[in-house]
Amino acid sequence: MKKRLTRKEWTRKKTINRVIRLSIVTLIGVAMLILLCLVFGTIYASMNPTKETVSATPKTKKPEIEVALLTPNEYSRPQTPLYEVNGVVVHYTANPGTTGWENQHYFENLKDSHTTKVSSHFIIGLDGTIIQCIPLDEIAYASNERNEDTISIECCHPKEDGKFTKETYQSLVTLTAWLTGEYNLTSDDVIRHYDVTGKICPKYFVENEEKWEKFKEDVFSKTQESNSIH
């Protein structure tokens, strides 16, 4: 015959059962909350993918630069602040055979001649010499609507085809690699004047697309080489 529970025993059993049921409901609720967090976390991650770390270029050693800043003037160095840098723009001088210093003097003399408004942050000579004309916190008159957020590099060339000398090319690779590292830019942020306005500049890189792609590969390789050394 089944033993009859006393009132005290019955109350205790009822309390234990209630605690067990409450614990089970709580565990189920926690499990569902965790599951919902995982689901919504996955959805958010798919809608907001993180950038590939490989897209950012590591910093490289600063190249040797001859600093010859232009005299402040409205035709070549307006001293307009450059608040952010989102790209590097490559140009060619379109003056075959001229040197880096001759082009620097041309920019400088615009303060007197007033013939046009043009300049560049850097000029790279036929011998690879890098000349800085404009501080990196000021705009240059080089890349039209992209003047406000880019650094410009003018490159000298010996002939009409616009092909750079080996020395000019190597300095361009080194300078561009350094700038992309300093401003945390990707290969997509290295562009030609052509990519801004459609102007055939730099001529050799516009007419030989594969050479332009090879140049950007060389810039990336330079940053990887520098990163492995450090």
pLDDT at 49: 42
Task: Quote the number of domains for the chain.
Answer: 2
Together in a domain, 111 and 210: yes
Determine the Cα–Cα distance for residues 41 and 175; give it in Å rounded to an integer: 42
| 41, part of any domain | yes
User: Which is higher by pLDDT, 154 or 40?
Assistant: 154
| 221, part of any domain | yes
User: Which is higher by pLDDT, 8 or 128?
Assistant: 128
* Helix pair angle (166-182, 209-229), 10° resolution: 60
Are the beta carbons of 103 and 70 closer than 8 angstroms? no
Residues 6+ apart with CB under 8 A from 61: 178, 226
pLDDT at 50: 39
Q: Decide if pLDDT at 229 tops 90.
A: no
Are the beta carbons of 37 and 43 closer than 8 angstroms? no
Helix (H/G/I), strand (E/B), else coil: 24: helix
| 2, part of any domain | no
| 225, part of any domain | yes
Residue 175 domain boundaries: 55-229
Together in a domain, 85 and 163: yes
| 132, part of any domain | yes
| 129, part of any domain | yes
Together in a domain, 82 and 191: yes
Together in a domain, 204 and 217: yes
Together in a domain, 110 and 187: yes
Task: Give the CATH number of the domain where residue 208 resides.
Answer: 3.40.80.10
Kindly state the average pLDDT of the residues 84-88: 98
Together in a domain, 44 and 144: no
Together in a domain, 76 and 147: yes
pLDDT digits (tens, 9 = 90+) for 4-61: 556 666 666 667 777 677 778 777 877 777 877 676 666 555 554 433 333 445 678 8
Per-residue confidence band for 100, with pLDDT thresholds at 50, 70 and 90: very high
Determine the Cα–Cα distance for residues 191 and 212; give it in Å rounded to an integer: 9
| 3, part of any domain | no
pTM for this prediction: 0.74
